[in-house]
Amino acid sequence: MAKKKIYFIPHYFGNLRYFGKLIPFLKDQFDLNFLFTPKALLRNSKKEIEDMRDYGAGLLEGRAVEIIEPTKPKFWLPLFSLIGSRLAFRRAVREFLEKTKPDILIGAEDNEFYNNLLFLEANKKGIKTIVLQWAIFAKSLMLDPKNKGLQKKEFKNPNLLERCYGQLVESLSRLLGLYRVTVNKVGGGTAQKVGVINKYFYDLLKGLGVPESKLEVVGSIDWELARAAQRAVSEDEEKKRLQQKHGLDLAKKNIAIFSIPFNLRDVNILSDSEQLSLYERLVKMIQEILPRAEYDVLLKIHPAENLELYAPLRKLGVKLFDKAASNEELIALSDLYIEDSSTTNFIAIIMNKDCIFLNLFQLPVIEESKEIFGIKKFVYDHEELRGLLAAYRDHALPKQYDQSAITTDNCAQKIISFINS
């Protein structure tokens, strides 16, 4: 019997990587593929797309990633050209579905235009359409995407003409069958099912109007991989192999910092130089309290970042890790984990690691994530951070979290069953 064909639809490296982590668990049962829609091509630079294509092809053992290119009109007329490009995308979607004949489409969202229309057309052909949550999202941003405090420049509210134009585009798109949402939130679009990480997100999306019949808690494949990595490093030979794989000093303890970019599109409150200075100051403080002779500092960048920004930190002895490095293995090999608010926090919490969670800019979107992870407290200033680092050195660091947010075991099997149901 032929395997069912799945197309994952990532739009940037972070969810490409998450979907890729599912491949070892799914490849025996499914024919697995990647599709880039115009959202991916428009969101990422040419170099980022090339990197994503190479990474995806590697996961698919050399098979090419499918791409639906954005339509570029010869000349631009407001409204007519936009609607024309959307109609052209629908034609391209229909051709893709007819040519590839997928059984299942899995994306990270269903309310943005491209996935919404792709899922809408797939539903007509009896193709299963699924949203699979891969990362956390803030409740305040779901309620107000123009949340204050995340940008150097304040958002300008659209004027009357801009509001009318936006409403006209949406009305025409709905009238022409190009767009359909119950509520304009993740899960409120055209996906038939939505798999979420934990009950917090189940309740959040339900409260925002996503039909409860769509929602199911499936956990995260990261949790499965975290438990596997923790088991691996409990065996001396495997731990030694992983230390050598990542170039770690077997005689030292490791302090793992996972960076959060405050200098990019979604959060833009720092310049590139200020972003580097933020982590340079953090590293120097760590090394004042935890001497380099005994401790190495590892810095793993966020999927949206460029490793070269942090290259000057190598002069301080920091070991830098690109976005493709294994989060699970690096955290399993580390003794202290330092982060802000990121899905990666779940990995350290599952492993019961010593942790310090930062919110040095006192951003509400970070503060509200305490409930998501079960974090007891974020650090607000450097003196408080200094005290916690000293407490860790003295084996007196209080536990900074509980494990109440980890609500699902056997996540791989849960996700497979969810896809099959």
The domain spanning residue 289 has which CATH number? Answer: 3.40.50.2000
User: Among 12-16, 121-125, 150-154, which stretch is predicted with the lowest mean pLDDT?
Assistant: 150-154
The pLDDT of residue 103: 98
Per the prediction, the chain carries an average pLDDT of 93
Q: In this structure, are 114 and 185 located in the same domain?
A: yes
pLDDT of residue 73: 77
| Max Cα-Cα span within the chain | 67
Please report the pLDDT score of residue 72 as a whole number: 78
Residues 300, 356: one domain? yes
**Of residues 319 and 156, which shows the higher confidence score?**
319
Tell me, yes or no, whether 244 and 313 share the same domain: yes
Residue 364 burial (10 A CB sphere; 0-12, 13-18, 19+) = middle
Contact call for residues 205 and 196 (beta carbons, < 8 A): yes
Q: What is the mean pLDDT of residues 254-281?
A: 95
165 versus 48: which is more confidently predicted?
48
Q: Do residues 80 and 142 share a domain?
A: yes
Distance CA 43, CA 48 (A): 9
- Residue 402 in any domain: the answer is no
Pair (213, 257) in one structural domain = no
- Amino acid present at 420: N
Average pLDDT over residues 326-335: 98
Residue 370 in domain: yes
Same domain, 376 and 259: yes
pLDDT for 152 equals: 63
Residue 151's pLDDT band, with cuts at 50, 70 and 90, is: low
- Give the chain's end-to-end CA distance (angstroms, integer): 19
| Domain annotation covers residue 23 | yes
Residue 415 lies in a domain: no
Name which of 191, 187, 190, 192 is nearest 203 in CA terms.
Answer: 187
* Overall number of domains in the chain: 2
User: Higher model confidence: residue 61 or residue 143?
Assistant: 61
> Given this model, what pLDDT does residue 161 score?
85
Q: How confident is the model at residue 409 (pLDDT cuts 50, 70, 90)?
A: confident
Give the residue from 186, 217, 248 where a domain finishes: 217
Same domain, 69 and 114: yes
Tell me whether residue 231 is in a domain: no
- pLDDT (mean) for 263-267: 87
Could you list the residue range(s) of the whole structural domain that residue 321 is in?
236-393
Q: pLDDT tens digit string along 275-285?
A: 999 999 999 99
Average the pLDDT over 102-119 and give the result: 97
Same domain flag for 213 and 240? no
Is 417 a member of any domain?
A: no
> For the segment 157-211, what is each residue's pLDDT rounded down to a tens digit?
678 888 888 889 989 999 999 999 999 899 999 999 999 999 999 999 999 999 9
Rounded CA gap, 60 and 64, in Å?
A: 8
- 135 and 166 in a single domain? The answer is yes
Mean pLDDT value across residues 360-368 = 93
State pLDDT tens for residues 57-97: 999 988 889 999 887 777 788 888 999 999 999 999 999 99
Report helix angle 221-233 to 236-245, nearest 10. 110
Contact 296, 266 (CB under 8 A): no
- Residue 155: pLDDT over 80: no
- The answer as to whether 142 is a domain residue is yes
* Pair 268, 149 in one domain: no
Same-domain status, 207 and 285: no
> What is the pLDDT, as a whole number, of residue 157?
67
Is residue 190 in a domain?
yes
Segment 299-319 mean pLDDT:
97
Q: Decide which of 161, 183, 217 is a domain's last residue.
A: 217
pLDDT of residue 145: 60
Residue 156 is predicted with a pLDDT of 60
Q: Residues 249, 185: one domain? A: no
